[in-house]
Amino acid sequence: MTFRFELAELAITLNRHVSLLDTNVLVTLCHPHTEKRARENVEEFLSLYRDEGDLFVTQPVLVETWGMLSKKARTNQKVTHESKLGMIQRLIDEGIRFLPSDGRNEDGREALGQVRDLMYNKEIDYVDAHLIICSEALHEAAAGNSSLQIVTADTRDFTRCGDVSFRYRVFDIINFETMDFSQKER
């Protein structure tokens, strides 16, 4: 026996400037013993971009961040359950929004297959592949008329995928530089 669980259609209005935050940005923001310069870079980015556009996290990023903070807690690095819960409050306080889906199709199989293929062909991790696929979906929804970027402190997986047909931009939060892979034809 099967049943159908329906969710109301989700429609999110986005500003012209959209930033998808990677896990390392959230860990830097939320871990109490982050290197001072790294925290300052994240806070500077947030203060510059918060009013200019939309800042988003996705479910895979939240799950990976929670896991990294949990691992640090187990290794006695001063991360408590309360500080992990504080991460969610910090996101709310910073005006960071939750993007629940890549918005492509009803059951997500197409996007999941694309993530799997990127992971296999480029040997990258799930979250980075997911962010690339999500960025492409947002690029399509905006008909190319947006300033969309993935914000990260680790650009390696994203540059490794620069030759694939997905369109995305990567903002290196360490060097405050943008790498643009969004001008490709699909």
Angle among Cα 164, 102, 26 to the nearest 5 degrees reads: 90
pTM for the full model? 0.84
The residue behind tokens 């203060």 is 47
The residue behind tokens 């980015």 is 45
Output the average pLDDT for the chain: 81
Rounded Cα gap, residues 50 and 19, in angstroms: 10
Does the pLDDT of residue 105 top 60, yes or no?
no
Which numeric CATH code is attached to 17-180? 3.40.50.1010
pLDDT score recorded for residue 75: 65
**pLDDT-derived band of residue 114, with 50, 70 and 90 as boundaries?**
confident
The pLDDT tens digits of the residues spanning 7-25 come to 455 677 777 788 999 999 9
- List the helix and strand counts (H, then E) for the chain: 7, 6
Rounded Cα gap, residues 63 and 92, in angstroms: 16
Q: Which residues contact 130 (CB under 8 A, 6 or more apart)?
A: 58, 60, 61, 102, 111, 115
